[in-house]
Structure 1
Amino acid sequence: MAIERWVAVASLGLFVMFVAQMISISVYLAHPSHDIDPSSEIREFISISVAPALVLAGSSFVLARRYGSRLVGSLLISGGLVTIGGMHYVSTLIPKIAPAYVVPELTGSPIAFAITSIPVIVIGILLFRVKPMPKRDYFFDR
């Protein structure tokens, strides 16, 4: 596979990892066994998984935009859909969490990243619409 396909696969993996982390902390905060600071954990999850996922999604789009790629487009679309679905599930878990653990990062992250995943879906759709440019045989054919 070409590099843009691997970058799109890594982006999808990081989107899935972010959703899994947010679900796991939300389930844990519903019945905590010891006291934690959820705001720092969520900021860590954002910096480890979803921020690099967004950068990789943009990078794979830039790499594949000249000739289009159905595989890269479908990977980006599925990453966006996974994020929207996971953030919807996290938002349904928030009412079950004790009020002491409900922090702005926990309430704002599902909305923010569901909205942020919409452009990821759009750039995935754009890759389906791009007509492939003919590949050059030689470097000096310009």
Structure 2
Amino acid sequence: MALEKYMAIAGLALSIFFVAEVLTLFNFMIDPADNDSFGFEAAPKLFQFISLSIAPAGIMMGVSFFLSKRYGSRFNGMLIILSGVIVLVGMLYANTMLEDLKPELVDFATEITPVLFMGVSIPIIIVGARLLKTRPRNPKKSFLDDSDYS
């Protein structure tokens, strides 16, 4: 497999990782431990999850797209589309969990994260679909090359 395929697979894995992290955090925030001796804030955790998983996933998918956009790759396109769909569905589910969270734990970052990444997943799906439609270009004929007449 070429480098761009491995990068698309890594982007898919990191997208799944991000959705799992957000859903786990929201599940904890529905029924947190009643021990209030520690101060829990969701925003730093969400920023950590974004910087550790979905930001590198976007970079991986972008590099995979740019490496394979010249010749097109159905495999890479499908992986990028699947990554976008997983983020979209996961954030839709996370958005439905918002009303069940403990109100004192909800802040702006908690409310905006699912909506923001639902919006981010749409261009990811479009980029993957564009990669599916790309056809390989024919190589340019070099009229000055004499290697055919040796």
TM category (shorter chain) comes to over 0.9
Q: In the TM superposition, what is the alpha-carbon distance from 1:134 to its structure 2 partner? A: 4.0
Answering whether residue 57 of structure 2 is matched by residue 53 of structure 1, we say: yes
- Cα deviation code 1:34-58 (max 9, x no counterpart): 4421111011000000111111111
Tell me the equivalent position of 1:133: 137
Matches within 5 A, 1:54-133: 54-133=58-137
Bigger radius of gyration among the two? 2
- Cα deviation code 1:61-110 (max 9, x no counterpart): 00000000000000000000000000000011110111111111111011
Tell me the equivalent position of 1:17: 17
The count of aligned residue pairs is 137
Tell me the equivalent position of 1:30: 30
Unaligned runs of 5+ residues in structure 2 are 146-150
When the two structures are superposed, what TM-score results if normalisation uses the length of structure 1? 0.92
- Cα deviation code 1:9-32 (max 9, x no counterpart): 000001000000000000000000
Tell me the equivalent position of 2:7: 7
Q: In the TM superposition, what is the alpha-carbon distance from 1:3 to its structure 2 partner? A: 0.5
What is the rounded CA distance, in whole Å, between the counterparts of 2:132 and 2:91 in structure 1?
A: 26
Unaligned runs of 5+ residues in structure 1 are none
Answering whether residue 47 of structure 2 is matched by residue 39 of structure 1, we say: no
Secondary structure of 1:42's partner? helix
What is the rounded CA distance, in whole Å, between the counterparts of 1:79 and 1:65 in structure 2?
A: 17
What is the rounded CA distance, in whole Å, between the counterparts of 1:133 and 1:13 in structure 2?
A: 30
What root-mean-square deviation, in Å, do the aligned CA atoms of Structure 1 and Structure 2 show?
1.3
Q: In the TM superposition, what is the alpha-carbon distance from 1:128 to its structure 2 partner? A: 1.0
Q: In the TM superposition, what is the alpha-carbon distance from 1:135 to its structure 2 partner? A: 6.1
Q: In the TM superposition, what is the alpha-carbon distance from 1:133 to its structure 2 partner? A: 2.3
Amino acid at match of 1:19: V
